[in-house]
Amino acid sequence: MDALHTAGIRFAEALQSGPPWLEKLWILVTSLADPKSIFTICFPLAYFLDRKVGVSVLWIGLVSEWLNVVLKWFLFGERPFWWVHESGLASKELVTLRQFPVSCETGPGDPSGHCMITGAALWPLVTALTALASRHSRSLVVNLTPFGIYALLQLAVGLSRVFVLAHFPHQVVGGILAGAALGWGLQPRTPATCTPGFFVATALALLLSSLALHSLVIAIGIDIDW
């Protein structure tokens, strides 16, 4: 893993050596792609356009947020900002990295929550736009445009997370793949006809199960909050 982590640090160095305008872009992307935006921006917008799509965005965002936390507890995953010092790499080799206000994230880093949660929750919106495009055009380019934008967005989010030293590249790739798989798998299973009480009960169940799992892992001697 050290070789993989070192390669990730070198990749982050290459990203940070880019022009100043790219730095502003990465900071903007990583801020806008915060998973909270799924609930504060994407869900209301999707719900306004189509109720079923909106509920699907909310549902997938809720489940993927919970699953991302659980996966991080089991996969652990170092954070570049901390690893470069804790591993001793910074004292052995020349490392030219810059810190940003969003660099000092704590806790496990694998997989990337920005990539996983955003990618999963946007999936129903992208498929809805693709279906809409296919009804109005037979052009393959037009029909594939929503997924093309989706892919570019995920790539930009992933690069921005590596740029600010929040994640290693392999954690970003894992988040992107997990997000797409979750979106694809959960969209057909969206409980669109359920009452608000169902979602409240589900959210409460996910919260309590997370707390119970956290306590269990701590009890068996695994320090997931190292």
Domains in the chain: boundaries: 1-220
Question: Which is catalytic among the residues 85, 136, 167, 170?
Answer: 167
Alpha helix locations (H) across 33-139?
36-37, 43-49, 51-75, 80-86, 89-92, 113-136
Catalytic pick from 85, 114, 136, 170?
A: 114
For residues 157 and 116, what is the distance between their CA atoms, to the nearest angstrom? 10
Predicted confidence (pLDDT) per residue in 163-174, tens digit:
999 999 999 999
Give yes or no: 136 in active site.
no
Q: Concatenated DSSP letters for 184-199? A: HHHGGG--TTS-HHHH
167 catalytic per annotation: yes
pLDDT digits (tens, 9 = 90+) for 46-69: 998 888 999 999 999 999 999 999
Q: What is the pLDDT of residues 8-23, one digit of tens each?
A: 989 999 999 888 889 8
